[in-house]
Amino acid sequence: MTKTVERPAAAVRVRPVKAPSPAGDRRRRRLTDQLRAYGFLLGGLVCFALFSWYPAIRAVVIAFQKYTPGSDPEWVGTANFTRVLNDPEFGAAWRNTLTFTLLALLIGFAIPFVLALVLNELRHAKAFFRVVVYLPVMIPPVVSALLWKWFYDPGAGLANEALRFLHLPTSNWSNGADTALVSLVVVATWANMGGTVLIYLAALQSIPGELYEAAELDGANLLQRIRHVTVPQTRFVILMLMLLQIIATMQVFTEPFVITGGGPENATVTVLYLIYKYAFLYNDFGGACALSVMLLALLGLFSAGYLRLTRSGEEAA
């Protein structure tokens, strides 16, 4: 009987599995997260490109063309700018716009800050008063302007009725050349200050209470605490809101369009209202775009200079 000799099985060489690199995993995960984020942003980017960026670029092009909807545009160079500059309403529109912006800063910039200070000190019914302050923002701008147009009516308007009840002299309000622009500033301040008040209120509530306690121990009164604690701690918010308010008030349109129609005697014609007249009353889209480019250039230069000055001021501080 033949004896079978079993040979030992050949040793199997097992190659060690290389562990994945943690750095490679993090890089791959970061790339996946970025692609997912850009995917979510794609819809917003498309909307901005179609309804914001493209119209802005198209307006710059039309500013150098003679353009009427339905006809082929004709290149005219700077003729639109020359015609707009020679328009008698051009100077009045810029003067009214700058005056409106200045009055809005004097009247409408301090009031939201004061209201935020008052709301921040309340101990009861905070939510109710926040809703009351923010309520005008929720009213559509045209509806708000129509309400104020009735309020300013020199005949049966609520403003003059209240003055008659108090045996005080009445006013023409939005129908008077001397009072129309101030009346529109009041409307714009009332309609838009709610959001500003809430932003200020959020900034005030982020100030550490220890700073106020230290100021009180040093003998600071209310005005000194506001000056030396509140204003420095909310300086960045104040500067940014001031920039946004100036840009917004330079583009005022709804109030003069609905309440005064640019009158009386062109006392409330603003730059944006003049753009509207060029485009939809004169059918001069080239002139309207030329005026829009001027406004864009001015606001761009102002914003760049403002941010540069505020940044250099912060670095110096």
Residue in 216, 240, 241 with CA at minimum distance from that of residue 228: 216
Q: Is the dihedral of CA 195, 201, 206, 211 positive or negative?
A: positive
The pLDDT value given to residue 316: 58
Mean local confidence (pLDDT), 309-317: 69
The pLDDT value given to residue 84: 94
The pLDDT value given to residue 48: 86
Whole-Å CA distances, 209 to 11, 18, 109, 214: 75, 56, 25, 9
Q: Give the C-alpha separation, 57 to 300, whole Å.
A: 15
Q: Residues 172-201: pLDDT tens digits?
A: 899 888 899 999 999 999 998 999 999 999
Does the pLDDT at position 17 exceed 60? no
Residue in 106, 81, 46, 49 with CA at minimum distance from that of residue 297: 81
Q: Measured at the alpha carbon of residue 257, what is the angle toward residues 255 and 263, in degrees to the nearest 5?
A: 100
Q: Residues 217-248: pLDDT tens digits?
A: 888 888 888 888 888 888 888 988 999 999 99
Q: Residues 117-172: pLDDT tens digits?
A: 888 888 788 888 888 899 999 999 999 999 999 999 988 889 999 999 899 888 88
Does the pLDDT at position 5 exceed 60? no
Average pLDDT, the chain: 86
Amino acid at 160: N
